[in-house]
Chain A
Amino acid sequence: MRSFEHFNARTMEEAVAILGRYGDRARVIAGGTDLLGKLKDEILPKYPEALVNIKSISGMDYIREDNDVLKIGALTRLEDIAVHPAVKQHFGALAEAAGRAASPHLREMGTLAGNICQDIRCWYYRYPNNRFPCLRKGGGRCYAIEGDNRYHSIFGGTVDDGCYAVHPSDTAPALIALDAVVRTTKRTIPLEDFFDVKVSATTVLDPDEIVTEFEIPQSPGKAGSHFIKFALRKTIDFAVVNCAAMILIEERKVASARVCLNAVAVKPYRAVKAEQAIIGQELNESTAEAAGESAISQATPLKDNGYMVQLAKIIVKRTILACA
């Protein structure tokens, strides 16, 4: 790893100020579980000149039930979310997602904000020493299209530049299904609008903007939520496909539904067609199956990832059924 300046910020204002001074030449570090790997491997053409540590800011690590919302501090570690009684009871999808992310060690380090701000997974993008200077690094082409794309997007690339790298977060689909919003040092953003696909960026955050808090509305009525992850190993892998859903059933019929897939597209993929397919229906094997079919109706798999379409269909079905 190369050397860099390291600042232990004492307040969020100070962190923002340092970021402002460095522009795009600094990075925020909290758990560091994604960033340090990237730095060690030197995957990007430019190396940051400074890291701004925000773990040194107190009071950013909390889970609070506040009137009708659950508030989670940006620096709350994944493991703390996974085992929190209130999260487990009322926001099952998030507890499950946090508990299935990464590995036990990484969950003790990684934060919720870091999990949604993590970079894309693509073995070309992530190859050490910028061996493949791809579109997302400002290069001229995507190497995955002609290469091995068994873990790439089944829902197309970005319109602008043709990148097929997937967003790997486990908690992002859960937060979207739970209709969460994220607060930053500048604004409040619905989680669904938080993600972006740009050169050197996966979120809409400005270079000097930092996530501070999550707010999740208490589910209306008795909505159930669930999260399922399909990965090759139980312990540490990123998802091949994951899915979160929140479903409210009234008078035996689905009154509202939010279903979100991830790891299958360039950003979390809200399966609106699956939601439409079950709203107003009774929740059973056949309606869930139909929802699964609807979820993948717009899939356009690449040469190596056709199996992910089948997986997405089944995982959507099972996640929906598990919400009942």
Chain B
Amino acid sequence: MTEKKLGPYQTLKQEGTYKIGYDKPTVDFKQIGKRGVRRYDGFEKASGKALYTRDVNLPGMLYAKVLSSPYARARMLRLDTGKAEKYPGVRAVLRYDDPAINGQELTGSIAGTTRMAPESAGWAMLPVKTILSDQAIFEGQMVGVAIAADTEQIASEALKLVKVEWEEQPFILDKEKALDSDAPKLISGADSNKIADEDRELTEQGDVEKGFQEAEEIIEFTARRDAHLWAGAELPSVVARWSGDKLEMWVHEQQPYLSKLILAEQLNIPMNKIHTHSLYQGCSFGERCNPSNWSQNGINVLAVLLAKKADRPVKLVLNRAEKFYGFSGDLMVSQFKVGARRDGTITAVQMNNLFANYMCTTGVEHLVENTKIPNLRCEGTTVFVNKPPAWWNRCEQLPNVFCQTLVFDHIADALGMDPTEVALLNDGCEGRDKSYLEDFQRENGFEPRDSLKECIAAGKKAIGWDENWHPPGTRQLPNGRMHGMAFTWSHDWDDTRGTGSAAVLIQNDGSVSIIAQHSDVGVNPWTTYMQIVADELGVRYEDIEINPFDLNVGFALMSPDGSCNLGSNGYVVKKAARKARRMLLDLAADKFDLPAEALDIEDSTVFEKANPDNRMPVKDVVKMAVPMLNAVGIWTEPPVLDWAWHTQGLWGMALETGRPRMCRQANFIEVEVDTETGEVCVTRVVNVNDVGKAISPETVEGQMYGGTYMGLGRALAEEMVWDPATGVLLNRNLLDYKYATMLDYPASDNIYIETGLGHGPYGSTGIGENTATMIPALLGPAVYNAIGKRIDDFPITPNKVLKALGKI
């Protein structure tokens, strides 16, 4: 059979589709892996010069405010906006019964998410509109009316003049009571508060009954965890400006392209008429990655409609309290049954997980993906409660690492074994032992390395595990506190389906532009792209620039919506740089009168390989190669520019995709528990990550530092407190909601290992989400090791410790 000749589209697709195997370096690393590379956004952010969405001020711009529900569940019987409409300075009033809202399929409706897989839509699956509904299903929900006025204060004052007649309805906050037959039903007329999510209700591997029969030790326990807030520093914000039928948007989002798509679908605005800017961003952590979310598409839609109505630009910024209405997808209670043989081999794990508002992940996935446990069964149930949406928050893997950490720690303890040994014994992939991974490494060009073994060895040494670890509740320190240590582990974060595109243009003066929109997600991505382009193209790092703030350039790099940034985008810029290099050498061949193959580029200079003295700066090579030149009679050449597209494309079970996760991580912690006050003092955290290859070592460590603080705060202090009588969120401010600060805990010790076993460029794998996700559950085992009493109820606050100790 003759091979089908690929056309240009199929060629691009083939070039851009991830191919399994080690991505070997094709160039010498100069910038890649180097410390001390100047951070792309460092000066602007540190100096306060960086501009954020709310800094945008346009001539004639109005400010918008939205009414929020004071009740956890209520229906609007009457809405009187008469006085507000007449208030001086009010320019537009948008009500729920406006034809632009009423009957439209906006965020919160099922149809509004047609481009997203339903399981990814989460809260958006709710069959109740969450943009300006006349029904509230959580306190703080945007309801009824939005107002645009000359100033923020006028908009606020006008909102106070809106009269609402509410019918309060019974509500439910407690997830464990939500399925009771007499529980108020969140959706009027529904039989139950259960959310159907067929894909995740049952996960099975092997036969757990058989596994429990083979077990010599079986334990059962229950664990609970409260979700934490999804918020970061920057407030949800948007600016919309109409000019005729053209719409200009400034958005604070991880995926502006998707939000543009949703605007096009929901408001019927052609995508090519929407010009979107995404400036610097003060946070994301996943909160800004659900384009159909009410605080994202919701505010976009309101700003767009108000701007149309008023025929003026409109800025809508939610305030700090309004930002509190959303939380991580691990508001859950789990029942576990674990069976193991006395040698530490786990034979079966059964878990039953109850989630509220959204089942991000089942809870069993990491046990599937990085253990050899043959028999697993996980039942999942999701219920509605009258709380705001749950969503991915610095990783949807929270339930999975929570369950893995507790399963391993409880069973190791029951067997009287060192948990690091139990981990090593059960390392594997989808029920297969490590030989499966070893075969894969051999067959696909990876180094034969045992990632978990290396991570554990490094971590144990750093924290002094062998000298200091002890049976639970057995070591009191001279200061009177009880000493505790704990360990957990998991695989690398490489669950991406990332797709992106970018161009590399060599400007007429020899400087290099990476052309693509890419949302700022704070993980120093742009520096790493520039490092890769520098090495792949052969130009100086200083000669490269990226301006990632404008979606109208046509290319867009994905942000970590699929928990991936460099892992996918690194390939994009690498390929684009290599293609641009081909173009540059092709042009240079003409100038040197040599074949392109005879030339190389280094330090922004093209030279003849066989005669390096024969050289020409890149700027001279491209002297006449321009996108345009407005000078009659001057001879010009086409620009040196090429672009690439890449998709990781593979996600899911290793046996289906042929792509198991091979890198591992290990996290160690040491605490002192004050048994009189219940205070948990964290004295040391050691994070060990096999990152495959560190493109930017400081960025790797930065993520580990930041993740540690975020994780410790989640574990020990962060808690959303709801008034039981009214369903009102009581602590929606940064004093009463307790994020950890850098002074609250000691800095972590961060160790990275480079096995090259990652599926990202140069064998790298992710580091952005891991630490913050791994640390919270680890505090449970650490406190248990200290006091000998289990507190499987997170966050672990002093009152719970005192209760476990029988002090109250």
- Whether chain B is bound by chain A comes out as yes
Residues of chain A touching chain B, judged by Cβ–Cβ distance below 8 Å, are 1-3, 123-124, 127-128, 131, 143, 146-148, 150, 230, 232-238, 240, 306-307, 309-311, 314-315
* Cβ–Cβ contact A307 & B678, under 8 A: yes
Write out the residue numbers on chain B whose beta carbons fall within 8 Å of the beta carbon of A235: 741, 743-744
Listed from nearest, the 6 A-B pairs whose CB atoms lie closest are: A307-B799, A123-B730, A314-B676, A235-B743, A235-B741, A232-B717
* Cβ–Cβ contact B735 & A310, under 8 A: no
* Cβ–Cβ contact B799 & A237, under 8 A: no
Q: Write the nearest CB–CB distance from B644 to chain A, whole angstroms.
A: 46
The segment out of B486-494, B545-553, B719-727 that lies at the interface is: B719-727
Write out the residue numbers on chain A whose beta carbons fall within 8 Å of the beta carbon of B723: 124, 143, 147-148
* Cβ–Cβ contact B721 & A123, under 8 A: yes
Q: Which A-chain residue is minimally distant from B675 (CB atoms)?
A: A314
Question: With A and B bound together, what is the CA distance between A45 and B374 in angstroms?
Answer: 63
In-complex Cβ contact of B736 among A123, A307, A310 (8 A): A123
Given A123-B730, A147-B725, A232-B717: A307 and B741 interface contact (C-beta under 8 Å): no
Question: With A and B bound together, what is the CA distance between A117 and B564 in angstroms?
Answer: 51
Give 19 A-B contacts (CB < 8 Å), ordered by A residue. Answer: A3-B153, A123-B721, A127-B730, A131-B70, A131-B728, A147-B730, A148-B722, A233-B738, A233-B741, A236-B735, A238-B735, A306-B808, A307-B678, A307-B803, A309-B808, A310-B676, A310-B678, A314-B677, A315-B677
B723-755 interface bits toward A, Cβ cutoff 8 Å, 1 = contact, 0 = none = 111101011000110101101100000000000
Asked whether any CB of chain A lies closer than 8 Å to the CB of B266, the reply is no
In-complex Cβ contact of B677 among A127, A148, A230 (8 A): A230
Question: With A and B bound together, what is the CA distance between A232 and B797 in angstroms?
Answer: 8
Chain A, interface SS category? loop
Question: With A and B bound together, what is the CA distance between A155 and B716 in angstroms?
Answer: 27
Q: Write the nearest CB–CB distance from B314 to chain A, whole angstroms.
A: 21
Question: With A and B bound together, what is the CA distance between A2 and B798 in angstroms?
Answer: 39
* Cβ–Cβ contact B721 & A148, under 8 A: yes
* Cβ–Cβ contact A146 & B724, under 8 A: yes
Q: Write the nearest CB–CB distance from B235 to chain A, whole angstroms.
A: 14
Q: Which B-chain residue is minimally distant from A241 (CB atoms)?
A: B677
Write out the residue numbers on chain B whose beta carbons fall within 8 Å of the beta carbon of A123: 721, 730-731, 736
Question: With A and B bound together, what is the CA distance between A131 and B71 in angstroms?
Answer: 10
Question: With A and B bound together, what is the CA distance between A73 and B696 in angstroms?
Answer: 53
Question: With A and B bound together, what is the CA distance between A310 and B805 in angstroms?
Answer: 12
Write out the residue numbers on chain A whose beta carbons fall within 8 Å of the beta carbon of B676: 310, 314
Write out the residue numbers on chain B whose beta carbons fall within 8 Å of the beta carbon of A236: 735, 741
Q: Which A-chain residue is minimally distant from B730 (CB atoms)?
A: A123
Q: Write the nearest CB–CB distance from B799 to chain A, whole angstroms.
A: 4
Residues from 780 to 808 in B contacting A, C-beta threshold 8 Å: 797-799, 802-803, 807-808
Q: Write the nearest CB–CB distance from A296 to chain B, whole angstroms.
A: 12
* Cβ–Cβ contact A124 & B738, under 8 A: no
Given A307-B802, A307-B808, A310-B807: A232 and B724 interface contact (C-beta under 8 Å): no
Q: Write the nearest CB–CB distance from A101 to chain B, whole angstroms.
A: 13
Q: Write the nearest CB–CB distance from A7 to chain B, whole angstroms.
A: 21
Write out the residue numbers on chain A whose beta carbons fall within 8 Å of the beta carbon of B808: 306-307, 309-310
Write out the residue numbers on chain A whose beta carbons fall within 8 Å of the beta carbon of B509: none
Asked whether any CB of chain A lies closer than 8 Å to the CB of B321, the reply is yes
* Cβ–Cβ contact B724 & A234, under 8 A: no
Write out the residue numbers on chain B whose beta carbons fall within 8 Å of the beta carbon of A147: 723-726, 730
Asked whether any CB of chain A lies closer than 8 Å to the CB of B201, the reply is no
* CB contacts between A and B, total, < 8 Å: 76
Write out the residue numbers on chain B whose beta carbons fall within 8 Å of the beta carbon of A131: 70, 728
Question: With A and B bound together, what is the CA distance between A240 and B677 in angstroms?
Answer: 11
Question: With A and B bound together, what is the CA distance between A186 and B723 in angstroms?
Answer: 42
* Cβ–Cβ contact B677 & A311, under 8 A: yes
Question: With A and B bound together, what is the CA distance between A232 and B716 in angstroms?
Answer: 8
Asked whether any CB of chain A lies closer than 8 Å to the CB of B679, the reply is yes
Which of B730, B738, B741 lies at the interface centre, i.e. has the most chain A CB atoms within 10 A of its CB? Answer: B730
Q: Which B-chain residue is minimally distant from A301 (CB atoms)?
A: B808
Q: Which B-chain residue is minimally distant from A309 (CB atoms)?
A: B808
Q: Which B-chain residue is minimally distant from A317 (CB atoms)?
A: B676
Question: With A and B bound together, what is the CA distance between A3 and B740 in angstroms?
Answer: 34
Question: With A and B bound together, what is the CA distance between A306 and B744 in angstroms?
Answer: 25
Question: With A and B bound together, what is the CA distance between A150 and B677 in angstroms?
Answer: 15
Residues from 695 to 719 in B contacting A, C-beta threshold 8 Å: 716-717
In-complex Cβ contact of B717 among A127, A233, A315 (8 A): A233
Q: Which A-chain residue is minimally distant from B681 (CB atoms)?
A: A234
Write out the residue numbers on chain A whose beta carbons fall within 8 Å of the beta carbon of B803: 307
Write out the residue numbers on chain B whose beta carbons fall within 8 Å of the beta carbon of A234: 743-744
Question: With A and B bound together, what is the CA distance between A46 and B381 in angstroms?
Answer: 47
Question: With A and B bound together, what is the CA distance between A50 and B157 in angstroms?
Answer: 19
Question: With A and B bound together, what is the CA distance between A306 and B716 in angstroms?
Answer: 19
Write out the residue numbers on chain B whose beta carbons fall within 8 Å of the beta carbon of A237: 735, 738
Q: Which B-chain residue is minimally distant from A304 (CB atoms)?
A: B799
Q: Which B-chain residue is minimally distant from A233 (CB atoms)?
A: B744
Residues from 141 to 161 in B contacting A, C-beta threshold 8 Å: 153, 157
Question: With A and B bound together, what is the CA distance between A309 and B807 in angstroms?
Answer: 10
Q: Write the nearest CB–CB distance from A208 to chain B, whole angstroms.
A: 30
Q: Which B-chain residue is minimally distant from A148 (CB atoms)?
A: B721
Q: Write the nearest CB–CB distance from B696 to chain A, whole angstroms.
A: 29
* Cβ–Cβ contact A307 & B798, under 8 A: yes
Question: With A and B bound together, what is the CA distance between A131 and B139 in angstroms?
Answer: 12
Write out the residue numbers on chain A whose beta carbons fall within 8 Å of the beta carbon of B744: 233-235
* Cβ–Cβ contact A128 & B321, under 8 A: yes
Question: With A and B bound together, what is the CA distance between A40 and B743 in angstroms?
Answer: 28
Q: Write the nearest CB–CB distance from A142 to chain B, whole angstroms.
A: 11
Question: With A and B bound together, what is the CA distance between A1 and B153 in angstroms?
Answer: 7
Q: Which A-chain residue is minimally distant from B713 (CB atoms)?
A: A233
Q: Write the nearest CB–CB distance from B716 to chain A, whole angstroms.
A: 8
Write out the residue numbers on chain B whose beta carbons fall within 8 Å of the beta carbon of A3: 153
Write out the residue numbers on chain B whose beta carbons fall within 8 Å of the beta carbon of A309: 808
* Cβ–Cβ contact A143 & B725, under 8 A: yes
Question: With A and B bound together, what is the CA distance between A237 and B802 in angstroms?
Answer: 20
Question: With A and B bound together, what is the CA distance between A306 and B800 in angstroms?
Answer: 11
* Cβ–Cβ contact A2 & B724, under 8 A: no
* Cβ–Cβ contact B738 & A232, under 8 A: yes
Question: With A and B bound together, what is the CA distance between A228 and B153 in angstroms?
Answer: 42
Question: With A and B bound together, what is the CA distance between A2 and B154 in angstroms?
Answer: 10
Q: A150-B721, A236-B735, A310-B676 are in contact. List 20 more A-B contacts (CB 8 A).
A: A1-B153, A123-B731, A124-B723, A131-B728, A143-B725, A147-B724, A147-B730, A148-B722, A148-B723, A148-B724, A150-B799, A230-B677, A230-B679, A233-B740, A233-B741, A237-B735, A307-B798, A310-B677, A310-B807, A315-B677
